[in-house]
A and B are shown apart, each in its own frame.
Chain A
Amino acid sequence: MEKKLKIVGFLCNWCSYAGADLAGISRYQYPANIRIIRVPCSGRVNPLLILKCFQEGADGVLVSGCHPGECHYKEGNYYARRRMLMFKNLLDYFGIDKRRFNMSWVSASEGAKWADIVKKVVEDVMAASQEKTDL
């Protein structure tokens, strides 16, 4: 990677965080650009948190939770899905490339998927316009 990208990942405690953990244990290689923040549930992620990340200079944000129907709190990720879609649709207006924000579902057993997703997200963010907006 010629440029050091910083991507903030909000991972739910029950699936995605465990999935990332598994990726580590299983020694899957993936880019080290991601900084992981563990949250109780993807439904906990307030759009303000993501905006703050962008404001403070993050290149990309990834929100990851349990697969729909598998949420530890039964329905948190369904709400997250709606909120994040709303948020994503507004990103264009304030000069943030849509590709800089991603959402994914990773279960605790999907270490390989997690590694793939991080690779993909890094590519996406790399391709996105890196114009910094002063929020």
Chain B
Amino acid sequence: MLQMLKGIKAKNHLESIKYFLRYLLQEKRVDAVLVPKRHPNGRSVSHALITDPLNTEGSDPLAPVQTVNAACILKELTKEPTDKKIAVVLRPCEVRAAIELIKIKQVSDENLYMIGYDCPGVYDAKEYMNIIEKEEDREKFTLKYIEAFLSDKKEEIRESCSYCMYFTADSADINMAWIGLNSSDLVIGVNTEKGKKLINDLETEEISDSSRRKEKIGMISTGRKQIQKDRIDNFLDLIQPCIRCYNCREVCPLCYCKECLLEPEKMGYSSVRYMNRAIKKKQIKMPDDTVLYHLTKINHMGYSCVSCGICEQACPMDIPLGMIYNVFSRKIQALFDYVPGRSRDEELPVTTFREEELSEVEDIQQPRGK
């Protein structure tokens, strides 16, 4: 159920978020907030862990750029138990990644309050930095971008956002909503008990009519569904430029292994072996095993892939990794009717099983005892 926070009448979406974060810090609801913040002269934003309410000024969580998937930062922040409470402002894909990480105990949500919001999508980071350099008022640019998204004007967003189907953060503790709602209020949805605690003495008013919001969300979803690809026919051609730089693994929130089996020293061969392989196969590509690398990666994290597209942004060779991983992972997830980050109670497909299922695996059908 959506609720309107009554006390907050800010000028715009950005102000209302800042107000809310300041409130959380001032009232000691949390000890710190993690939020993307703009450096006065910087071209991009970077996450900041803020403890002083005054420092929330300049934070810009809505800036249309995703430099890192913030779930990676949460891994760092919660690897040891602390008693400090942290509120984090996350994009929906980051919320979903964080929930996947909570399931595999890489993030502890004990003292974590996730605040999500309706995400308008982002630019490619490099493109964003080029655009923003020419902008006088950088905060205004963010607001213009959100306005354009809310009034259905087409904005240039990066490809992996253009077919994102999960642009509302329904699984966060609190999600801020603005699609299809009156823009002057701060409307939030409280999804967990923890979220309730966070705002329990704020005056709220329930919003009874959210049909326009539902309609709008439906509209965007149908539009995006059409862009989404269901097949890749030339996977081997697409992946060919890969130089195995491991960027996509480093930035991926779900590649959580401390020790990766794709490390060069584990995956590589001795010099003699390389020669022998080259002789046997007449030629080998170097750096080798690039296809194997991606296929193993997708087999290892595909069931959890949230399609944030950060791998595509990190790829120096401009391989459309976001699209590839999206198509592959959706196929895997559909097998188990699993949506990563949908709910904390759903178990990962590979850590659970049902006794009666998937009989098609054994397709060599033979009656027993024949």
Residues in chain A within 8 A of chain B (CB atoms) = 47-48, 51-52, 55, 57, 67-69, 75, 78-79, 81-90, 93-95, 102-105, 110, 112-113, 116-117, 120-121, 124, 133-135
Contact = CB atoms under 8 A, between A and B. Distances in A.
Contacts, number: 98
Contact of A48 (B299, B303, B363): B299
Interface stretch (B110-118, B218-226, B347-355): B347-355
15 contacts: A75-B353, A79-B350, A81-B357, A81-B358, A82-B353, A85-B335, A86-B303, A86-B335, A90-B299, A94-B291, A104-B362, A104-B364, A110-B369, A121-B364, A134-B285
Interface of B: 232, 235-236, 261, 281, 285, 289, 291-292, 295-296, 298-299, 302-303, 327-328, 331-332, 335-336, 349-350, 353, 355, 357-358, 360-364, 366, 368-370
Given A47-B296, A89-B331, A121-B364, 11 more contacts: A55-B289, A68-B355, A85-B358, A86-B332, A87-B299, A89-B335, A90-B299, A93-B327, A102-B363, A110-B368, A135-B295
Contacts of B292: 48, 51-52, 55, 135
Kindly list the 3 A-B residue pairs having the minimum CB-CB distance in the complex, ordered from nearest: A78-B353, A47-B299, A135-B291
A93 B294 CA distance: 12
B366 A116 contact: yes
Which interface residue of A81, A88, A93, A134 has the most chain B CB atoms within 10 A? A93
A89 B358 CA distance: 12
B358 A82 contact: yes
B232 A93 contact: yes
A56 to B, nearest CB: 8
Nearest to A119: B364
A71 to B, nearest CB: 11
Contacts of B331: 89-90
Given A81-B358, A84-B361, A133 B335 contact: no
